[in-house]
Amino acid sequence: MIPAIPDLEVENIVTEQNITALIVGCGIIGKHHGVVLTRHPSFTVTAVTDPDPAMVESASAAIVGAGGAAPATYSSVAEALEARVADLVVICTPSGLHVEQALAALEYDVHLVIEKPLSVSVAQGRELIDAAERATSQGRCVTVISQHRFDPATVAVREAIEGGSFGQLTSAAAVMSMYRSQQYYDQGAWRGTWALDGGGAAMNQGVHTVDLLRSFLGRPEEISAYTAQLGHERIEIEDLATATIRFESGALATVLCTTAGYPGLPVRVHVHGLRGSAVIDDSRLEFFHAGDPESGQAPNQAAERVEVGELRSSPPAEDFFVTGHLRQYDDIADAITNKRPPVVTVNEALLSLALVRAIYLSATLGAPVRFDDVLDGKFDESAEAAVAAIGGAI
Ligand SMILES: NC(=O)c1ccc[n+]([C@@H]2O[C@H](COP(=O)([O-])OP(=O)(O)OC[C@H]3O[C@@H](n4cnc5c(N)ncnc54)[C@H](O)[C@@H]3O)[C@@H](O)[C@H]2O)c1
């Protein structure tokens, strides 16, 4: 049975379009996109590709199970692109393949969605900037998935920050404590490698949280971090990272990302300002207060800011993972229809990728690093050994 689409702001959905989609990579998230796109009124999945026939088959079955028609299937990306069966290409392969496949797709006249993270290195991510800008100037949409940007709790906090309701932001703290078994890393050969995963807890799982922090606090200035591998073996990357980030505004933030925190807890983000603070926990609003300290307003105004289902005190929506991507696809459908930039541009995603790479570089050097130096690749030659230890070119 196909579950109903929960709690969407239907007035924002563009229904007059039928945007056809090709899914590249039919693993966990590729199948998920197949279901999400099939449920979204603006999209139809017309093709899928994966070198593994079993994955192609199970993605097709997931699409049909969600109410769609069986898509055309291809065993190679080149063949699928050459067939020109879709307006939109959705890249859901291991992270180290994203840029190469995105560049290949942009050779065709298509819109492009890339799963997070943009890439495994800033150097690779930067390669996409020109091609993405060219496509954008031709009215095409090029975007990177960061579905938590669209959670109603996130939107409420960002609007409060942008509207000045919290006054000057002074600090933030994010804890992303998950558990991933040894089996999780052993199962996929690409997982836990610098070349294809691009990092561990901070990159694969934590980039969502790092992206939220950055979207709340603005441009980072300096990063100081530690990483460790304490709960897993046979992986190249960290399962624990802690960092302090100083932002250009002067605000300070701490972030902890781990996949060695059994049994795993909901992601929690605090944001604090001189006139207000908020707490997002498990993607829902736990606490919100904005206003004059003397005004005597209710301490927790969260219920005034989001629907009841988006409060931390409510149970999570049954299908919250699908809903998250559906919300971002609302933005993508609208961006395609109205030829406007999507919320998460390649440039935006590159900044979050650079922030994660800065965490790795600082931890490896044992010293703070400046964000702009990481973004500009300044360490590639000046700190070759440290850069090599985190998978090569920053
Ligand atoms: N936004 C999210 O919440 C979220 C969640 C999970 C994963 N992801 C991202 O999605 C990506 C994939 O993760 P996953 O968990 O689905 O991995 P996965 O291992 O389950 O699936 C990857 C798929 O890509 C296929 N593949 C490999 N090489 C390919 C190629 N050259 N062409 C086409 N297909 C190829 C594999 O056969 C496999 O089926 C990663 O970048 C990951 O970070 C995002």
Q: Each residue's pLDDT tens digit in the chain (394 positions)? A: 233 333 334 344 444 479 999 999 999 999 999 999 999 999 999 999 999 999 999 999 999 999 999 999 999 999 999 999 999 999 999 999 999 999 999 999 999 999 999 999 999 999 999 999 999 999 999 999 999 999 999 999 999 999 999 999 999 999 999 999 999 999 999 999 999 999 999 999 999 999 999 999 999 999 999 999 999 999 999 999 999 999 999 999 999 999 999 999 999 999 999 999 999 999 999 999 998 777 777 899 999 999 999 999 999 988 999 999 999 999 999 999 999 999 999 999 999 999 999 999 999 999 999 999 999 999 999 999 999 999 999 9
Give yes or no for residue 188 CB within 6 A of ligand 1.
yes
Task: Please give the class, per CATH, of domain 148-290+349-362+372-380.
Answer: alpha beta
pLDDT value of position 296: 74
pLDDT value of position 292: 76
Q: Are 19 and 111 in contact (CB under 8 A)?
A: yes
Q: Measured in angstroms, how far is the CA atom of residue 296 from the centroid of ligand 1? A: 50
CA angle in degrees (0–180, nearest 5) for 36-37-43: 155
Q: Measured in angstroms, how far is the CA atom of residue 116 from the centroid of ligand 1? A: 10
pLDDT value of position 352: 98
pLDDT value of position 295: 74
Give yes or no for residue 193 CB within 6 A of ligand 1.
no
Q: What is the domain partition of the chain in residue ranges? A: 10-144, 148-290+349-362+372-380
Tell which CATH classification among 2.60.120.10, 3.40.50.720, 3.20.20.70, 2.30.130.10 matches the domain 10-144.
3.40.50.720
Q: Measured in angstroms, how far is the CA atom of residue 160 from the centroid of ligand 1? A: 35
| Inter-axis angle of helices 53-65 and 28-39, nearest 10 | 30
Of 75, 14, 24, 76, the residue nearest 45 (C-alpha):
24
**CA–CA gap between residue 323 and residue 333 (Å, rounded):** 15
Give yes or no for residue 51 CB within 6 A of ligand 1.
yes
Nearest protein CA to atom 6 of ligand 1, as residue: 29
Q: Residues near 143 by Cβ (< 8 Å), separated by ≥ 6?
A: 112, 113, 114, 328, 331, 332, 335, 342, 343, 344, 345, 346
Give yes or no for residue 209 CB within 6 A of ligand 1.
no
Task: Give the predicted TM-score (pTM) of the model.
Answer: 0.95
CA distances from 69 to 23, 49, 352 (A): 14, 16, 36
Give yes or no for residue 48 CB within 6 A of ligand 1.
no
Q: Measured in angstroms, how far is the CA atom of residue 300 from the centroid of ligand 1? A: 40
Give yes or no for residue 22 CB within 6 A of ligand 1.
no
Give the number of the atom of ligand 1 that is nearest the alpha carbon of residue 147.
1
Give yes or no for residue 24 CB within 6 A of ligand 1.
yes
pLDDT value of position 13: 47
**Phi and psi, residue 60, nearest 5°:** -60, -45
Give yes or no for residue 204 CB within 6 A of ligand 1.
yes
Give yes or no for residue 189 CB within 6 A of ligand 1.
no
**H helix intervals, the chain:** 28-39, 53-65, 77-82, 98-106, 122-137, 152-162, 182-187, 207-217, 302-305, 320-338, 346-365, 371-375, 379-382, 384-389
